[in-house]
Chain A
Amino acid sequence: MAEPEVSSAASAGGWRLRNAFGGVLCAFTLLLIGVLAFSIRLFSVIKYESVIHEFDPYFNFRVTQFLSKNGIYEFWNWFDDRTWYPLGRVIGGTVYPGLTLTAGTIWWLLNSLNIPLSVETVCVFTAPIFSANASWATYLLTKEAKGTGAGLMAAAILAMVPSYISRSVAGSYDNEAVAIFALIFTFYLYVKTLNTGSLFYATLNALSYFYMVCSWGGYTFIINLIPMHVLLCIVTGRYSSRLYIAYAPLVILGTLLAALVPVVGFNAVMTSEHFASFLVFIILHVVALVYYIKGLLTPRLFKVAMTFVITVGLTYASKYIPIIASVSEHQPPTWPSYFMDINVLAFLIPAGIISCFLPLSDASSFMVLYLVTAVYFSGVMVRLMLVLAPAACILSGIALSAAFDVLTRSIKFQLSKLFDDSPAASGDSSPESSSAGTVNTNSTKSESRTEKSETAPKEKPSKKNRKKEKEVAESVPVRPKKEKRLLVLPFELSVMGILLLIVLGGFYVVHCVWAAAEAYSAPSIVLTSRNRDGLHVFDDFREAYGWLSHNTDVDDKVASWWDYGYQTTAMANRTVIVDNNTWNNTHIATVGTAMSSPEKAAWEIFNSLDVKYVLVVFGGLVGYPSDDINKFLWMVRIGGGVFPHIKEADYLRDGNYRVDAQATPTMLNCLMYKLCYYRFVETDGKGYDRVRGYEIGKKHFKLTHFEEVFTTHHWMVRIYKLKPQKNRVRGKLKKLKSNSKTSSTLAAGQKKNPWQ
């Protein structure tokens, strides 16, 4: 009697030690994954500099600056008069505040700890920090479904998935940076609630959902995916009280919280994206009630639920799927996009799907549903590849973990067989998938490090809350009990298989690093080009914005195409007419019309808007293709959409857009052409445009209503000032010239005259 006790005590000790070791190793691995996720996104800082990227991030940066300077209440009520002149814009009520508040909080926290970082630095590094958070959240989520090994694998994969890197490199300070973390974390809490049935996690889930709503418009994906999963569970007969606890509080609390965000407001209950969640909420209650009353009559329940669900599902599908499929403005991706953005994960996902079905639990069914919806939507619209990335990582992690599990097990037990033929080895033939109580006496034997980290911590959660996770754990050990034979593969081929999987993983790492370094790190505010002479840096944008902020009056209005609105307000601190928040089409059309009009008409339009300076972006000298001449047709189209006297056909010669000698007179006389190509011929004597690849049509001309005030080093940005209005009466012009100094007082005096 004594002996077993001793052995069990010893084994319990060994088990605890092993567990602790595994826990430490796991934590250490997670730390490294976090470091990896952070550092792979620093290529943009290393190759360029610590700078905010592109267009929208500049707006977010400006809002964060305002928040850190003026505090949360001022921010909430902020009416911005520096943009959309003369209309202005209510910022507090029209932005998703999650990102700004997050970065503002980080900045405030660091400052109160006496770490004096600038707001810009915090903003630049917010995205990498949250990528590390996202990979930890992925670990938690995957662990809920398939255990620690899969969790670590998925976290490592997510840390460097190119699709996510593209939106979260250092400096890419946009909503998606924090939203992907919020998305994964919300899913984790949902699955956790589903597994435990704990109201605590359900409440956290609602809060996490609130954070997601604050951060990104993509929250509608969550509020549709989770109801779909609930519906799926009901349809397949997996209803349980845990499902109820996971879903009902989320809908009630989540909707109430979402309505608190000004930009969402009553949309949370009044728009069709949210109806599915309420519908499922009702169905869930009906089902719950039926279960409660007629617990024994399950077959009949199925009939009720099935008819309900089938009718609802069919109407829903028939109503929405054609809409999604028919919208052709969406950009569907081609197959290379998948290979670029998720790379070899595309090979692993099917294996992950199958692993999730063997055995199917609530959590793993959620993973499959997440993947299937995300992959479908990403197929419709390439931007949603970002939502697919976490799902792809999770399922690939599951697949890789399952494959490594089988292969290392095969190696391990056949290796031990090679060394000694003792039957002890086969005694614990299934340690990987065995239940918590089994003790592995072979722990000292040669086994790979990865395996240790995989096996040990897996047992930990089931001890911690054994009762709660019983249902999850139960499904796992069924298989090994039935089969006594060792589930192994041939030794030498297993080794080869592992090597190949490692090669595959290596290729993935190479691809991700390459994508991070070469494809996704350009800040687009500083451009570089590499040729035989070495590296060329084009810093014209900041040169121009710097000029504006130093040489113009604070209240001067600057007109440009809307692409440059955010940057002008953030970097030059000047009022703009239109910006990237394209909420007022008429206003944009006004600017488009001005750009497409002849000089005099354009001057009148701009003058009526109090514009002092006009900014154009011109790439013809250095070959920068996304300049205003290439965007010009859009200005014409948008302008013509509101002001019909602008006709696209007037700017096209035989349907072709060109600015060379064959261009139409309307094109050659419009403001955009003149502002871009003014004095251009002086650069090389011929006026050869490097973007369009030909000589321009009209080379020598003068400006009558505008004057050039600044052109940047590479001519990429040109700034013009509106000439002051000419006096109408010719005779008086001479008079005024003679005493021009007193002209302003004269005008003032004239005004006063009638009163005296």
Chain B
Amino acid sequence: MAPAPARHLLLLLPLLLAAAPAGADDLVAELQSLRARSPSGVIHLTDTSVTRFLSAPASRRPYSVLLFFDAAALHSKPDLHLPQLRTEFALLAASFHDRNPGSGDLFFADIEFAESQHSFHQFGVNSLPHVRLIRPEHSTLAGSEQMDQSHFGRLADSMAEFVESRTGLEVGPIVRPPLLSRNQIILLGILFLISIPFAIKRVIEGETLLHDRRVWMAGALFVYFFSVSGGMYGIIRHTPMFLTDRSDPDKLVFFYQGSGMQLGAEGFAVGFLYTLVGLMIAGVTHLLVKVESLQTQRFAMMAVIAIGWWAVRKVIFLDNWKTGYSIHTFWPSSWRIWNHPH
């Protein structure tokens, strides 16, 4: 019983092979040339090229394509990490081509939403980030395999695992460009070498920056300013400095309502106000008392009081607006006539 289907397959095989060569080689060659033209090795597809390269019957495309769905309009959304994933995707492509030069088995491509909406629809893609692997055996576009969210987790490395497990092709180690180019490293090295004698001289004389109190003071104040403005939040959560208004793209949103999230700019603005008031108080208590001119003292103090009053009020107002808390006092209940109900 068993050999019968096998024999059928054997009969089919020459038929397939006969049908395939008609366009397959052309398509592969065309893709290879397209790849050579792109600097990162990622081919940019549009609606027409999708039909040409991917909607072709399986027999005519002996290659797999890993397709990255991109949308320029969503690059500004920090939680999607699209630009980052796109560069990682390019790294993956470059690493693959380093390993398998001139390969015709797997191509890397991307597609942009604004110019290829039809293809997005064909693939049934309605959320990003989205990466699909279209293998020769996939007959329809929507039937191709979607890369799981978990494979974005470790960026290019986990994408490589996905590709290796599905196609059986070896991607090899991901080659990342070094943080500093060679010339920059040499330049920094030279600068460092030049500075060594000067540094040693200063250290021996005991007048390094470390011995200067003002440096420590400035450092402490900076750390304070940075932390209080939620700078670490910005770093860890990758929040942008500001957003563009959804309804009106020309308008920028600097302040985000809701206490769970903050934008970079608003944090630094408030952190600046925090620090400013403190610095002014310090200035009055330690600096202004030493000034001899009564007139200067008077003006400076008036300015400090006015600015301080404004800054504190501003922060209180912003805080109430952002968090929605209504802080109120508790008066004795017999005084309730003056008290607003809460």
Task: Give residues in A with beta carbon < 8 Å to B.
Answer: 235-237, 298-300, 302-303, 306, 325, 328, 330, 332-340, 344, 346-355, 357-358, 360, 368, 371-372, 375-376, 378-380, 399, 402-403, 405-406, 410, 483, 485, 487-490, 493, 496-497, 500, 504, 507, 510-511, 513-514, 517, 519, 655
* Residue B260 at the chain A interface, CB threshold 8 Å: yes
B223 within 8 A of A: yes
Q: Find out whether the CB atom of B322 lies under 8 angstroms from the CB atom of A330.
A: no
Query: Are the CB atoms of B288 and A489 closer together than 8 Å?
Result: yes
Residues from chain B with a CB closer than 8 A to the CB of A328 are 236-237
B192 to chain A, nearest CB (A): 13
Q: Report yes or no: A378 in contact with B277, Cβ–Cβ below 8 A.
A: no
B282:A399 contact, CB within 8 angstroms: yes
Range for the number of chain B residues in contact with chain A: 35 or more
B 217-254 to A, binary, CB cutoff 8 A, 1 in contact else 0: 10111011111111111011100000000000000000
Chain B residue at minimal CB-CB distance from A43: B330
Instruction: Known contacts A485-B292, A497-B305; decide if A371 and B224 are in contact (CB<8 Å).
Output: yes
Known: A236-B210, A405-B285, A500-B305. A338 touches B228 (CB 8 A): yes
Q: With contacts A340-B323, A406-B285, A490-B301 known, what are 12 further pairs, Cβ within 8 A?
A: A298-B206, A336-B323, A338-B274, A347-B277, A350-B221, A350-B281, A351-B285, A353-B224, A380-B236, A405-B285, A490-B297, A514-B330
B308 to chain A, nearest CB (A): 7
Question: Is there contact, CB below 8 Å, between A358 and B227?
Answer: no
B64 CB-CB contact with A under 8 Å: no
Closest to B274 in A: A346
CB pair A353–B329 under 8 Å, yes or no, is: no
Closest to B236 in A: A332
The answer to the question of B208 belonging to the interface, with a C-beta cut-off of 8 Å to chain A, is yes
Alpha-carbon distance between A316 and B9 when the two chains are bound, in angstroms: 65
Q: Is B7 an interface position by the 8 A CB rule?
A: no
Residue of A nearest to B212 (CB): A236
CB neighbours of A489 from chain B (8 A)? 284, 288-289, 297, 301
A–B pairs, 7, beta carbons within 8 Å: A332-B230, A334-B230, A335-B229, A336-B262, A355-B285, A376-B232, A399-B285
Q: How far is the CB of B288 from chain A (nearest CB, A)?
A: 6
Contact of B223 among A332, A360, A376, A402 (CB under 8 A): A376
Contact of A368 with B262 in the complex, beta carbons under 8 Å:
no
Query: Considering residues A330, A334, A353, A517, which has the most beta carbons from chain B within 10 angstroms of its beta carbon?
Result: A334
Q: Is the CB of A493 within 8 A of B302?
A: yes
Q: Which of A375, A487, A519 contacts B227 (CB 8 A)?
A: A375
Evaluate contact between A346 and B127: CB separation under 8 angstroms: no
* Cα distance, A333 to B262, chains bound together (Å): 9
> A349 and B204: CB pair below 8 A?
no
Q: Whole-angstrom distance from the CB of B194 to the nearest CB of chain A? A: 18
CB-CB under 8 A from A333, the residues of chain B are: 230, 233
- CB-CB under 8 A from B211, the residues of chain A are 236-237
Residues on the B chain within 8 Å of A298, using CB: 206
Look across to chain B and name the residue whose beta carbon is closest to the beta carbon of A492. B298
> A378–B274 Cα gap in the complex (Å)?
16
Chain B residues contacting A496 (CB-CB under 8 Å) are 305
Q: 0/1 per residue, B265-296, Cβ < 8 Å to A?
A: 01100110011011101101110111010100
- The answer to whether A403 and B203 have CB atoms under 8 Å apart is no
Interface, chain B (partner A; CB < 8 A)? 127, 200, 203-206, 208, 210-211, 213, 216-217, 219-221, 223-233, 235-237, 259-262, 266-267, 270-271, 274-275, 277-279, 281-282, 284-286, 288-290, 292, 294, 297-298, 301-302, 305, 308-309, 311-312, 315-316, 319, 322-323, 325, 327-330
B315 proximity list for chain A (CB < 8 A): 339, 347
Interchain nearest-CB distance for B261 vs A (Å): 7
Contact residue among A237, A335, A519 (Cβ-Cβ distance under 8 Å from B271): A335
Complex contact B262–A335 (CB within 8 A): yes
Chain B interface SS verdict (over half): helix
Could you tell me if B203 and A339 are in contact, using CB atoms closer than 8 angstroms?
no
Closest to B323 in A: A336
- Decide yes or no: A306 and B220 within 8 Å by CB, A332-B233, A336-B259, A336-B322 being known contacts: no
Query: CB within 8 A of A349: which of B224, B236, B270?
Result: B224
CB distance from B303 to the nearest CB of A (A): 11
Q: Which residues of chain B are within 8 angstroms of A372 by Cβ–Cβ distance?
A: 219-220, 223-224
A493 touches B305 (CB 8 A): yes
Q: Which of A306, A355, A410, A485 contacts B282 (CB 8 A)?
A: A355
Nearest Cβ in chain A — how far from B188, in angstroms? 15
Contact of B301 among A235, A336, A493 (CB under 8 A): A493
Instruction: Name the A residues within 8 Å of B235 (CB-CB).
Output: 325, 332
Expressed in whole angstroms, the minimum distance between the Cβ of A626 and any Cβ of chain B is 16
The 10 closest A-B pairs by CB, nearest first: A350-B278, A379-B227, A354-B282, A379-B232, A334-B262, A332-B233, A351-B282, A351-B281, A347-B277, A493-B301
Inter-chain contacts of B319 with A (CB < 8 A): 336, 339-340
Least CB distance from A568 to B in Å reads: 31
CB-CB under 8 A from A354, the residues of chain B are 217, 221, 278-279, 282, 286
A514 to B325, CA, bound (A): 10
Residue in B closest to A374 when the chains form the complex, CB atoms: B227
> Given the complex, which residues of B lie within 8 Å of A399, measured CB to CB?
278, 281-282, 285
Contact A347–B274 (Cβ < 8 Å): yes
Chain A residues positioned under 8 Å from B274 (CB to CB): 338, 346-347, 349-350
* Contact A332/B237 with A350-B221, A350-B224 known, Cβ cut-off 8 Å: yes
Bound CA span A375–B271, Å = 13
Q: Nearest A residue to B309 by beta-carbon distance?
A: A500
Residue contact B231 to A379, C-beta cutoff 8 Å: yes
Residues of B contacting A334 with CB < 8 Å? 230, 233, 259-262, 267
The answer to whether A510 touches B327, judged by C-beta atoms less than 8 angstroms apart, is: yes
In the complex, A237 Cα to B207 Cα: how many Å?
A: 11
The contact of A335 among B223, B270, B294, B329, by CB within 8 Å, is: B270
Given A299-B205, A348-B278, the answer on whether A379 and B230 have CB atoms closer than 8 Å is yes
A299 touches B206 (CB 8 A): yes
- Contact (Cβ within 8 A) A346 B284: no
Contacts of A352 in B (CB 8 A): 278
Question: Which of B206, B266, B278, B301 has the most C-beta atoms of chain A within 10 angstroms of its own C-beta?
Answer: B278
Task: Choose among B232, B292, B309, B327 the residue that contacts A514 (Cβ–Cβ < 8 A).
Answer: B327
Give the chain A neighbours of B308 by CB distance below 8 A. 500
- Residues of A within 8 Å of B278, CB to CB, are 347-354, 399
A358 and B286 form a contact (CB under 8 A): yes
> Separation in Å of the A351 CB from the closest CB of chain B?
4
Q: How far is the CB of B225 from chain A (nearest CB, A)?
A: 8
Which residue on B lies nearest to A235, using beta carbons? B210
Other-chain contact of A325, B200, B236, B312 (Cβ < 8 Å): B236
Given A332-B233, A335-B266, A489-B284, A302-B289 contact (CB < 8 Å) = no
